[in-house]
Every structure is written in structure tokens, then in C-alpha cells.
């Protein structure tokens, strides 16, 4: 079998970057898409190439369908296809619901939910043709509970929508041997928080510590594997017990 190809929007930093490097160590070719973090994406590609794999960094705003079309075409031109879509794109902001603006509301849905629909729609035909594919989306721990979130409303509802879209896509694609699953992280140390903040968070986590990008990447690597061929429509919380 030829080398498999992954497209990871949001792969310049954090969880997406860790998944990309880990896939490279397993022989995958990895394309990382970024919106503003060009230097980080190029650095991540150097890590991928140091692992002996092919890497590519592409700038794209995946909240825009035309940009998604350009992105998927660029990866196909580069390696011939997309075997796995790992959608790690998903900015977030914390704002009281009555202080939220129409622009902020739309941004949360466009960048967390719309992009998954756009990208899945574009990569699915090739996966169907090859009768093999993997799509992974990221939600958030406790999004499946639909609890009130007055300070995080738009982001939270977009992530809840991700779970519904994942289940729908999984059902539509199952007969084509294409799996679609979600990972729902809790608190993950992606390098942006200080030690004291991490300690404060850990007190509310049953496991007693904040997770690492490796924890989330481990779940993704399983879902991308042949061993997970019969797992589809699932939501895997990676939260140390936080969120329920």
C-alpha cells in the first residue's frame, strides 16, 4: 500500500501538530493548514520531515468554502488524494451571551462547524471511490450534555453541532468503509498556560492532572488506524473524567 495522506486544518500548533508529527513517524504524508500561524506551521513541517515523511504547510481560511476547495485541491495535487481529514480548526472565545455580537456568533459557527461540513463534503468523494477513509472532528468534553453555557454559548453550541454532524456523516459513509468520529478534549496543556493556571485547573479534574497533546493524539491515532475500521459515529472524551 502506498503512503497514506492526512490533511490537518489547525495543524500548526497544539493537538493538530502533535497528531501530524505522530502520523509522520508512522509513515504518513501530512499536510497542515493554518490561517495565521505560518511560522509555527513551517516549523511543524520541519518536524514532519525530520521524521522521514513528506510535509506541507498551506494557508487557508477554512470557514470559507472556496478556500476549502483550494486547500483540498492543493493536497490532491501534492500527493494525489486525501485519505484522512483531521479537522483541528476551531477557535474559541469566551463572552457573555448578551455581549456576543452577530459577527462573533457567526465566526464561532463558521470556524467550528461550517468548516467540517465543507471539508467533509470535498474529501468524501475520493474516499468513497477508494473505499477507505477517515474523518475526525474535535468537539469538547460535555458538549453532548447540552448544558447551559452563558459565557461560552456560540462556541459550545457549534461543538454540539459537530457531534450531530459527525453522526450524520458516519451513517452516510459507513457502507463505503469511511469512518467519521469525534474526539472531545477537556483541559489539555497545549503550551499556552502557565504552571499555576494548570495546577488550578487540575483541582477540578477527577484524574488529578491536565491532559497533554499526546493524550488527544493517542485517541486520534487509534481512530485513524485499520484496527478502528468498525468504529464510526463515536465520540471519545479525552478529559480525565471531567465534563460529566
Say yes or no to pLDDT of 92 above 50: yes
Cα separations in angstroms, 167 against 50, 111, 140, 235: 36, 19, 15, 9
Q: Is 87 helix (H, G, I), strand (E, B) or coil?
A: strand
State mean pLDDT over 203-226.
96
Instruction: Give CA–CA dist 180/167, Å, rounded.
Output: 7
- Percent share of the chain, pLDDT over 90: 91
User: Could you write out the DSSP letters of every residue in 30-52?
Assistant: EEEEESS-HHHHHHHHHHHHHTT
Output the average pLDDT for the chain.
95
pLDDT bucket at 208, cuts 50 / 70 / 90: very high
What are the structural domain ranges in the chain? 5-238
Task: Write out the CATH class of domain 5-238.
Answer: alpha beta
Label residue 12 by pLDDT band (50, 70, 90).
very high
3-class SS at 137? Answer: strand
Q: 69 near 115, Cβ under 8 Å?
A: no
Whether pLDDT at 72 is above 70? yes
Q: Residue 1 pLDDT more than 50?
A: no
Question: pLDDT: is 196 or 32 the higher one?
Answer: 32
* Best CA proximity match to 219, nearest among 102, 138, 131: 138
Amino acid at each position: 500500500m502506498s503512503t497514506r495522506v492526512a490533511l490537518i486544518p489547525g495543524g500548526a500548533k497544539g493537538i493538530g501538530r502533535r497528531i501530524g508529527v505522530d502520523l509522520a513517524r508512522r509513515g504518513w504524508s501530512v499536510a497542515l493548514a493554518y490561517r495565521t500561524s505560518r511560522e509555527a506551521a513551517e516549523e511543524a513541517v520541519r518536524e514532519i520531515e525530520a521524521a522521514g515523511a513528506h510535509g506541507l504547510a498551506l494557508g487557508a481560511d477554512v470557514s470559507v468554502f472556496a478556500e476549502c476547495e483550494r486547500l483540498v485541491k492543493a493536497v490532491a495535487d501534492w500527493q494525489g488524494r486525501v485519505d484522512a481529514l483531521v479537522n483541528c480548526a476551531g477557535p474559541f472565545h469566551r463572552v457573555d451571551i448578551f455581549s456576543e455580537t452577530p459577527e462573533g456568533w457567526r465566526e464561532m459557527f463558521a470556524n467550528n462547524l461550517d468548516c467540517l461540513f465543507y471539508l467533509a463534503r470535498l474529501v468524501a468523494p475520493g474516499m468513497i471511490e477508494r473505499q477507505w477513509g477517515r474523518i475526525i472532528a474535535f468537539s469538547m468534553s460535555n458538549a453532548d450534555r447540552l448544558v447551559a453555557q452563558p459565557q461560552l454559548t456560540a462556541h459550545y453550541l457549534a461543538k454540539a453541532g459537530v457531534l450531530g454532524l459527525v453522526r450524520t456523516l458516519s451513517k452516510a459513509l459507513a457502507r463505503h468503509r469511511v469512518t467519521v468520529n469525534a474526539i472531545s478534549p477537556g483541559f489539555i496543556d497545549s503550551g499556552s498556560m502557565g504552571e499555576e493556571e494548570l495546577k488550578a485547573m487540575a483541582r477540578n479534574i477527577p484524574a488529578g492532572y491536565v491532559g497533554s497533546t499526546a493524550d488527544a493524539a493517542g485517541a486520534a491515532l487509534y481512530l485513524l488506524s485499520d484496527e478502528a475500521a468498525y468504529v464510526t459515529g463515536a465520540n471519545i472524551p479525552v478529559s480525565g473524567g471531567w465534563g460529566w
